[in-house]
């Protein structure tokens, strides 16, 4: 094999932007991230090292990629309305994830709330126009957050099919032409003082299981009554800050609701495939990097005075590792195609069981493989496996949470069972 680009992907479906985007991102990663990433763990609170790299990725002085989803007439690249939105997302997630999955999630989550108003067929032009300048007209990286998880648990909120939203404690009350929001969220990516804009999944009628009472409301971080705590210290993902947010009688205009009764629940379900494709892309990117590092290691270190890779027993293990990476990449791109088929006669809407449940299942599978593959790779490195200098251990720490976020592993398993076996009570 020539290099890590040879891992399989469906060439016939790749976006025309793929080559250009990848090369720009790879240059950025090689220059701005790779040389510094071993120091990121100590930078988790301040982001002195991390922030400048974000600016060069996202802001207009750099690649300006944070505006990608916005329509061209509002200053964006129009990806949200293209037939390649998911495939491009997968490629972006891969390239940034190859360098640092924490960075990848912080950057991609910025798109996450915006998908509810910028992706065909749900473009909300009024909100698109409202928020376009915040992201399209700045040299700095600007972040958004999707504040789903509440203290009592993240899984239930992502499990609207079963809970119907009855567990949600964050409330929105209409007062004249304003929403008044109260509640407490924690853990969203880009909290801890980072995000300028939140989307807040909440209920207009606490305890209700009527999907029409579920609401998605945009809240600027500087709105009165929004308080953010500092970031938590975590096992990894230093480039992503996560903390608490309290909403206390926060007022926003009534039209900051993403799509309206019923529709909000639908676009919220559509958020899930976006999160899943990002997750799979991050994992594939990290695994591509693992392959690069491992290749070098097994070619230069020896067992029985022969390169590790020339020992049949070790070869059996690294062959499987690379094989798994190939398979995971194929699955990630197939998932991306599921998303991009949403507008085709043979495709399914993003909120359909066909897309959500299958993708949850694929993400669950790819994360399990990735956790395994990284664990094995550390073992191949043996005494060097835990050494930060080899970068594999950092990915190992970072990617574990990808297996667990978005409602948890068990939720994925339940959705798969519900879909494939028509279970009624899970």
Partner 1 sequence: MNKTLDELFVYPKELVDEESKRVIHLVRQWADKEIISKRQEYRENYEKLFIETRKSLNLTIGLQRLTLPEESGGFGWNNPASTPGIVSVLTEIGRADAAIGVISAVKCVVFAATTLLPHLDKDVCDVLAPIYCADELKTPSLILPGMGTVGEETPLFLGRSILATVEPDGDGYAVNGKNMRPLNSGAVADLFCVVCADKLGRPCVALVPGDDRNIVRGRTLLETGLNASANCDVSFNNVRIPKSYLISRDGVVEQIYTWLNLLLGGVSVGVGMNFFEIVTEWSETRTIKGGTMMKENPLCASVLADVADETFTARLLLYNLAHIMSKPDDWGYSGSQRVYTFSQIIGSQVQQKIMRAINRGLELMGSAGYSREWHVEKHWRDIKTIQSYLCGVGAEAPVKMDTARFFFDCKEI
Ligand X SMILES: Cc1cc2nc3c(=O)[nH]c(=O)nc-3n(C[C@H](O)[C@H](O)[C@H](O)COP(=O)(O)OP(=O)(O)OC[C@H]3O[C@@H](n4cnc5c(N)ncnc54)[C@H](O)[C@@H]3O)c2cc1C
The 319-358 site mask, x for binding ligand X (CB under 6 A), equals: ----------------------------------------
As a whole number of angstroms, the distance between CA 195 and CA 197 comes to 6
Q: Mapping DSSP to helix (H, G, I), strand (E, B) and coil, where does residue 220 land?
A: strand
Q: Is 367 in the site for ligand X (CB under 6 A)?
A: no
For the chain, the residue count is: 426
Burial 391-408 (b: 16+ CB within 10 A, else e): bbbbbbbbbbbbbebbbb
Q: Which of 167, 215, 219, 212 is nearest to 197 (CA)?
A: 219
Work out how close the CB of 401 gets to ligand X at its nearest, in angstroms, rounded to a whole number: 4
Residue placing its CB nearer to ligand X in the complex, 147 or 172: 147
Give which of ligand X, partner 1, none residue 12 binds (C-beta under 5 to 8 Å, depending on kind).
none
Work out how close the CB of 4 gets to ligand X at its nearest, in angstroms, rounded to a whole number: 25
As a whole number of angstroms, the distance between CA 394 and CA 37 comes to 9
Number of Cβ within a 10 Å radius of residue 422: 7
Tokens 């990630």 label which residue? 332
Work out how close the CB of 132 gets to ligand X at its nearest, in angstroms, rounded to a whole number: 22
Q: Is 188 in the site for ligand X (CB under 6 A)?
A: yes
Number of Cβ within a 10 Å radius of residue 425: 5
Q: Mapping DSSP to helix (H, G, I), strand (E, B) and coil, where does residue 142 land?
A: coil
Q: Which helix (H) or strand (E) holds 183?
A: strand 178-189
As a whole number of angstroms, the distance between CA 267 and CA 104 comes to 23
Work out how close the CB of 319 gets to ligand X at its nearest, in angstroms, rounded to a whole number: 11
Number of Cβ within a 10 Å radius of residue 200: 27
Residue placing its CB nearer to ligand X in the complex, 204 or 242: 242
Residue placing its CB nearer to ligand X in the complex, 50 or 237: 237
Give which of partner 1, ligand X, none residue 206 binds (C-beta under 5 to 8 Å, depending on kind).
none
Give which of partner 1, ligand X, none residue 188 binds (C-beta under 5 to 8 Å, depending on kind).
ligand X
DSSP 257-286: BSS-TTHHHHHHHHHHHHHHHHHHHHHHHH
Strands 197-203 and 144-146: parallel
Binding residues vs partner 1 (CB under 8 A): 38, 41, 149, 152-156, 159, 162-163, 166-167, 186-187, 232-236, 242, 298-305, 307-308, 311, 313-314, 317, 371, 375-376, 378-389, 393, 396-397, 400-401, 403-405, 408-410, 413-414
Residue placing its CB nearer to ligand X in the complex, 65 or 406: 406
Give which of ligand X, partner 1, none residue 163 binds (C-beta under 5 to 8 Å, depending on kind).
partner 1
Q: Which of 87, 124, 138, 149 binds ligand X (CB under 6 A)?
A: 149
Tokens standing for 111?
A: 């798109």
Q: Which helix (H) or strand (E) holds 294?
A: helix 263-300
The 400-419 site mask, x for binding ligand X (CB under 6 A), equals: -x---xxxxxxx--x-----
Contact (Cβ atoms closer than 8 angstroms) between residue 217 and residue 257 = yes
Work out how close the CB of 314 gets to partner 1 at its nearest, in angstroms, rounded to a whole number: 4
Q: Which of 52, 78, 153, 206 binds ligand X (CB under 6 A)?
A: 153
Work out how close the CB of 26 gets to ligand X at its nearest, in angstroms, rounded to a whole number: 24
Work out how close the CB of 160 gets to partner 1 at its nearest, in angstroms, rounded to a whole number: 12
As a whole number of angstroms, the distance between CA 231 and CA 160 comes to 28
Q: Mapping DSSP to helix (H, G, I), strand (E, B) and coil, where does residue 4 land?
A: helix
Tokens standing for 412?
A: 């994925």
Give which of partner 1, ligand X, none residue 376 binds (C-beta under 5 to 8 Å, depending on kind).
partner 1
Work out how close the CB of 365 gets to partner 1 at its nearest, in angstroms, rounded to a whole number: 14
Give which of ligand X, partner 1, none residue 317 binds (C-beta under 5 to 8 Å, depending on kind).
partner 1
Give which of partner 1, ligand X, none residue 325 binds (C-beta under 5 to 8 Å, depending on kind).
none
In the complex, which residues of this chain contact ligand X (CB under 6 A)?
109, 146-149, 153-155, 159, 187-189, 237, 240, 242, 312, 401, 405-411, 414
């Amino acid at each position: 094999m020539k290099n890590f680009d040879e891992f399989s992907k469906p060439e016939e479906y790749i976006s025309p932007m793929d080559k250009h985007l990848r090369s720009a991102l790879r240059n950025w990663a090689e220059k701005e991230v790779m040389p510094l990433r071993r120091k990121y763990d100590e930078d988790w609170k301040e982001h002195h090292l991390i922030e400048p790299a974000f600016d060069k990725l996202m802001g207009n002085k750099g690649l300006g990629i944070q505006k990608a989803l916005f329509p061209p007439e509002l200053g964006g690249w129009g990806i949200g309305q293209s037939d390649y939105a998911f495939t491009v997302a997968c490629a972006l997630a891969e390239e940034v994830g190859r360098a640092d999955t924490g960075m990848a999630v912080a950057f991609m989550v910025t798109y996450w709330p915006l998908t509810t108003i910028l992706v065909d067929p749900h473009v909300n032009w009024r909100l698109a126009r409202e928020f376009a300048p915040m992201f399209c007209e700045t040299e700095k990286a600007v972040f958004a957050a999707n504040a789903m998880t509440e203290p009592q648990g993240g899984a239930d909120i992502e499990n609207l099919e079963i809970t119907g939203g009855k567990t949600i404690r964050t409330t929105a009350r209409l007062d004249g032409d304003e929403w008044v929001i109260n509640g407490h969220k924690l853990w969203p990516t880009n909290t801890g003082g980072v995000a300028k804009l939140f989307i807040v999944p909440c209920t207009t009628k606490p305890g209700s299981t009527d999907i029409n009472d579920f609401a998605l409301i945009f809240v600027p971080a500087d709105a009165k009554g929004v308080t953010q705590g500092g970031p938590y210290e975590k096992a990894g993902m230093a480039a992503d800050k996560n903390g608490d947010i309290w909403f206390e009688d926060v007022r926003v205009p009534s039209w900051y609701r993403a799509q309206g009764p019923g529709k909000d629940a639908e676009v919220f379900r559509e958020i899930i495939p976006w999160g899943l494709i990002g997750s799979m892309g991050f994992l594939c990117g990290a695994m591509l990097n693992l392959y690069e590092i491992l290749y070098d290691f097994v070619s230069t270190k020896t067992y029985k005075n022969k390169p590790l890779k020339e020992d049949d027993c070790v070869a059996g293990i690294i062959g499987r590792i690379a094989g798994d990476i190939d398979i995971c990449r194929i699955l990630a791109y197939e998932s991306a195609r599921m998303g991009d088929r949403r507008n085709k006669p043979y495709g399914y809407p993003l909120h359909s069981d066909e897309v959500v449940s299958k993708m949850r299942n694929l993400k669950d599978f790819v994360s399990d493989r990735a956790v395994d593959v990284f664990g094995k790779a550390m073992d191949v490195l043996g005494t060097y496996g835990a050494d930060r200098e080899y970068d594999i251990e950092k990915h190992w720490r970072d990617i574990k949470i990808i297996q667990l976020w978005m409602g948890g592993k068990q939720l994925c398993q339940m959705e798969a069972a519900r879909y494939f076996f028509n279970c009624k009570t899970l």
